[in-house]
């Protein structure tokens, strides 16, 4: 009796990606939706970056695997905040760029 062929890890990963892509929006597509909202605001790039860092920190409770990354990002943001003599980033408003279709 022939033994059923085993799928490679690559084949299994490709099947998983295809299955998920059929049912869920990608992270890029989800970000594009938020980006559209940001474009309609008067927020700066720095505002968006600060929000992202703080929001990741809030997500640690439900996504504990991001804790190290969230803390490192927060430290970088606060370092930048205290070291910037003139906060140029606050003056740069969010501008349209190419984003994936939502």
| pLDDT single digits (tens) 65-97 | 999 999 999 999 999 888 876 656 666 777 766
In which residue are the tokens 């990608």 written? 26
Question: Which residue has better confidence, 56 or 39?
Answer: 56
Handedness of CA 40, 43, 47, 51 (dihedral sign): negative
Above 90 in pLDDT, residue 46? no
pTM: 0.70
Handedness of CA 91, 94, 95, 98 (dihedral sign): positive
- Residue 7 confidence (pLDDT): 86
- Residue 84 confidence (pLDDT): 77
Quick: pLDDT tens for 7-16: 899 999 999 9
User: Distance between CA 28 and CA 81 in Å, rounded?
Assistant: 27
- Residue 63 confidence (pLDDT): 97
Domain boundaries, the chain: 10-91
83-to-71, 97, 102 alpha-carbon distances in Å: 18, 28, 37
Instruction: Please check whether residue 88 is in contact with residue 45, taking contact to mean a CB–CB distance below 8 angstroms.
Output: no
CA within 13 Å, CB half, 60: 12
Above 80 in pLDDT, residue 2? no
């Amino acid at each position: 009796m022939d033994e059923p062929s085993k799928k490679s890890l690559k084949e299994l990963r490709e099947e998983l990606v295809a299955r998920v892509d059929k049912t869920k929006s990608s992270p890029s597509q989800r970000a594009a939706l938020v980006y559209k909202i940001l474009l309609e605001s008067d927020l700066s790039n720095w505002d968006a970056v600060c929000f992202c860092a703080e929001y990741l920190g809030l997500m640690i409770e439900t996504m504990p695997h991001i804790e190290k990354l969230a803390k490192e990002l927060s430290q970088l943001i606060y370092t930048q905040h205290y070291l910037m003599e003139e906060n140029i980033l606050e003056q740069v408003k969010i501008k349209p760029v190419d984003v994936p279709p939502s």
